[in-house]
């Protein structure tokens, strides 16, 4: 068997009891982890790596809206980033 990290061993060594597997994508569904993930990890790095520090207040506002509070919540990160840039461009 391939070496797995200790934390992954219970799943890697799981013996199937059925011909199917049911997994729960907990990100934003079973556990509301999206808010902390975006506010504490993704958005600060968007600001840092895209050079948005001069407009960080507005970048944070746009990114939170797109990723957490709009109808697009949960979309792929790259289209979301484009939407953030579009909102920033249109903001007075």
Residue 28 has what pLDDT? 66
The band of 1, judged by pLDDT with boundaries at 50, 70 and 90, is low
Tens-digit pLDDT profile for residues 77-86: 999 999 999 9
User: CA-CA distance, 12 to 1, in Å (whole number)?
Assistant: 9
Based on the structure, what is the number of domains in the chain? Answer: 1
Q: pTM for the complete prediction? A: 0.71
CB 40 within 8 A of CB 46: no
For 92, the token pair is 């007075």
Q: Could you list the residue range(s) of the whole structural domain that residue 31 is in?
A: 26-90
Q: Is residue 36 part of a domain?
A: yes
- 10 located within any domain: no
**Residue 89: predicted pLDDT:** 97
**HSE on the CB side for 42, CA within 13 Å?**
21
For residue 84, being part of any structural domain is answered with: yes
- Strand, coil or helix: what is 31? strand
Half-sphere exposure of 1 (CA within 13 A, CB side): 9
Residue 49 has pLDDT above 70, yes or no: yes
Q: Six-digit token pair at 54?
A: 């001069």
Flag whether 72 is in a domain.
yes
More confident position, 70 or 34 = 70
Residue 74 has a pLDDT of 86
């Amino acid at each position: 068997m391939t070496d797995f990290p200790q934390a992954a061993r219970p799943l890697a060594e799981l013996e199937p009891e059925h011909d199917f597997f049911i997994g729960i994508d907990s990100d934003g569904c079973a556990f509301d982890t999206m808010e902390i993930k975006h506010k504490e990890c993704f958005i600060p790095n968007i600001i840092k790596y895209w050079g948005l520090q001069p407009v960080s207040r507005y970048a944070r506002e746009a990114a939170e809206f797109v990723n957490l509070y709009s109808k697009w919540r949960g979309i792929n990160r790259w289209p979301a980033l484009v939407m953030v840039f579009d909102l920033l461009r249109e903001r007075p």
